Amino acid sequence: MRFLATADWQLGMAARYLGDDARPRYIQARFDAISRIAEVARERHAQFVVVGGDVFESNQLDRSIIARAFEALRAFDIPVVLVPGNHDPLDASTIYDSALFAARKPEHVVVVRGSSPFEVVPGVEIVGAPWFSKRPAGDLVARAIADLEVPASGAVRIVVGHGAVSTLDPDRDSVATIDVQALRPALARGLAHFVILGDRHGTYEVTPQIWYPGTPEVTDRREIDPGNVLVVDMDEDSGAWSVDKVHVGSWRFLTLRRELNSRAEVTAFGRELDEFSAKDRTAIWLALSGTLSTAAKAELDEVIAGAQDVFARIDHWERHTDLAVIPDDHDFADMSLSGFAQRALDELVERAAAGIVTDEHAGRDSDPAIDPADDGHPMTPEPATSDAQSAQDALSLLYRLAGAHR
């Protein structure tokens, strides 16, 4: 018996951190990932597919998202079982009850609306633990299996749910946490045989029989091992389970932390960016630190501006940027300024240099790990730039506009 396990498709995700050019391509990539899952299903002769929640990013989406989802789902010729999660719960406004969904849902797509076991293919039962609101009042997986008896038929039973497990959840007291310690003995007794969960977007093995497949296409730069689908096998003779992870994602979200302290290092960094493949599907958050001359900073600005033409996204992650610019004596020597312009330049140099001592780390978090306001979102408002920072920026701009680096 073989099936595919996936979750967290997050169809219709807004991806505000991408530009106007990249965003529609990224939204489409989430549908394309479904098509690749269908290819894997065909190649591996899977009998059905389970999706552990968050199929849709929300219950309020443009109707075209539903239509495109069904278009992608037509590529399957086996049952595809959708179990609503916290993003797409079965509440009063559920997307699964929308007119378009009801009218256009392909025959082989099954929405799980309760926890009664149902036979998905002969000899295999699914027990779903769908979400009915964004705040469940208990462990939905525990509830789903609470009243089960060991299947008399000898059927294989697969539980599909959504949420954080007790062994991973930092918020262990949350009532909705899925209690792994309670689940293990239930599996040992044969109430169910395998558990697929959504919520964690990276592929993760909780126990050999409890897995998060993760999202098939990355949604956040902090995810560990996203972009996969699981091929789950049960050997009929031994009853042994095996899981094969297949990569289907095509986008990468990365954080690059680099310390740059010279023009040579900036040049090398430019080459490093150049060597990236699939730039149009790569989004990079830069966490750069170091001290650069105005000339080196101007080169860095050019390197990044050039990369922005080809990468899906590349920009400073301001909260984790700690670059100081110290004007070098040689930086402005060729500009032959005089009078007011030279005096203005001198003042800028003085103010910029003052900041190196007095404004170091001004308004920045030295330890991002304990910053509760750091949601990793690039839209987070930044502290006001200091006078020294403004002077450094002005010098960089002056340097570039004057073409002194050419």
Nearer to Mn ion, 176 or 326 (CB): 176
54 vs 299, which CB is nearer to Mn ion? 54
SS3 state of residue 137: coil
Nearest approach in angstroms of CB 53 to Mn ion is: 7
Nearer to Mn ion, 200 or 263 (CB): 200
Cα–Cα distances in angstroms (integers) from residue 329 to residues 122, 333, 346, 392, in the given order: 79, 7, 11, 14
- Closest to Mn ion by CB, 212 vs 317, is 212
Q: Least CB distance from residue 302 to Mn ion, whole Å?
A: 38
Contact, 348 vs 394, CB < 8 A?
Answer: yes
Binding mask 99-118 for Mn ion (x = CB under 5 A): --------------------
Q: No. of H helices and E strands in the chain? A: 9, 16
CB-based contacts of 225: which residues, under 8 Å, 6+ apart? 202, 203, 204, 214
The enclosing H or E element of 186 equals helix 180-189
In this structure, which long-range contacts are made by residues 13-20, counting pairs with CB atoms below 8 Å and at least 24 apart in sequence?
Answer: 13/57, 13/219, 14/57, 16/379, 17/283, 17/313, 17/377, 17/378, 17/379, 18/283, 18/312, 18/313, 19/312, 19/313
Residue 88 is a binding residue for Mn ion (CB under 5 A): no
CB nearer Mn ion, residue 37 or residue 348: 37
Q: Determine the size of the site formed for Mn ion (CB under 5 A).
A: 2
Candidates 1-9, 120-128, 152-160, 335-343: pick the segment binding Mn ion (CB under 5 A).
1-9
Q: Are 63 and 100 in contact (CB under 8 A)?
A: yes
Task: Give the CA distances from residue 190 to residues 149, 183, 249, 343, in Å, rounded to whole numbers and listed in that order.
Answer: 9, 11, 34, 82
Report the residue number, 206 or 288, with the smaller CB distance to Mn ion: 206
Q: Could you tell me the smallest distance in angstroms from the CB atom of residue 86 to Mn ion?
A: 7
Question: Pick from 5, 8, 13, 81: which binds Mn ion (CB under 5 A)?
Answer: 8
Phi and psi angles of residue 81, each rounded to the nearest 5 degrees, phi first: -100, 115
Closer residue to Mn ion in complex, CB, 79/216 = 216
Q: How far is the CB of 154 from Mn ion (least distance, A)?
A: 34
Least spacing, CB of residue 347 vs Mn ion, in Å: 52
| Residue 250 Cβ vs Mn ion, minimum distance, rounded to whole Å | 19
Tell me which residue has its CB nearest to Mn ion.
Answer: 54
Spatial separation of the C-alpha atoms in residues 278 and 311, rounded to whole Å = 8
Taking the complex as a whole, how short is the minimal distance between the CB of residue 2 and Mn ion, in angstroms? 25
**Largest Cα–Cα distance of the chain, in whole Å?**
95
Site for Mn ion in 9-68 (CB under 5 A): 54
Name the site residues for Mn ion (rule: CB under 5 A): 8, 54
